[in-house]
């Protein structure tokens, strides 16, 4: 199954760009996607927290991902 990942902030730097398309297994969840990303891009393991959105809505680790879904990786943001 192919999914589109949008990356922001440090996640964009880790992936080497703001958009990535990857193939993943059927029955993929947000939690399993994060595991796959940490395997392929070990720098993700160093991030203390990430927000994940599926089709523009924040998701938890158990949420299923379907073919064609758009995933956004949103790292912590600091500012003032």
Ranges of beta strands (E only) in 1-80 are: 2-7, 19-23, 51-54, 57-58, 70-74
Global pTM reads 0.86
pLDDT tens for residues 13-48? Answer: 999 999 999 888 889 999 999 999 999 999 988 888
User: Given 3.40.50.2300, 3.90.660.10, 3.10.20.30, 2.60.40.420, which CATH number is that of 2-74?
Assistant: 3.10.20.30
Please give the full DSSP string across 42-63, using - where no structure is assigned.
Answer: GGGGG-S--EEEETTEE--TT-
Domain ranges of the chain: 2-74
The residue to which tokens 């959105």 are assigned: 53
Q: What's phi and psi for 39, nearest 5 deg?
A: -70, -45
Phi, psi of 45 (to 5 degrees): -65, -25
The model's pLDDT over 40-79, given as tens digits with 9 standing for 90+, comes to: 999 988 888 889 999 999 999 999 999 889 999 998 776 5
> Could you tell me if 6 and 70 are in contact, meaning their C-beta atoms sit under 8 angstroms apart?
yes
């Amino acid at each position: 199954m192919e999914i589109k990942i949008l990356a922001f902030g440090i996640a964009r730097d880790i992936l080497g760009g703001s958009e990535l398309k990857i193939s993943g297994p059927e029955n993929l969840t947000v939690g399993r996607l994060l595991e796959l990303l940490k395997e392929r891009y070990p720098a993700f393991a160093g991030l203390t927290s990430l927000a994940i959105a599926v089709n523009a809505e924040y998701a938890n680790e158990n949420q299923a991902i379907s073919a064609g879904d758009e995933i956004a990786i949103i790292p912590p943001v600091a500012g003032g």
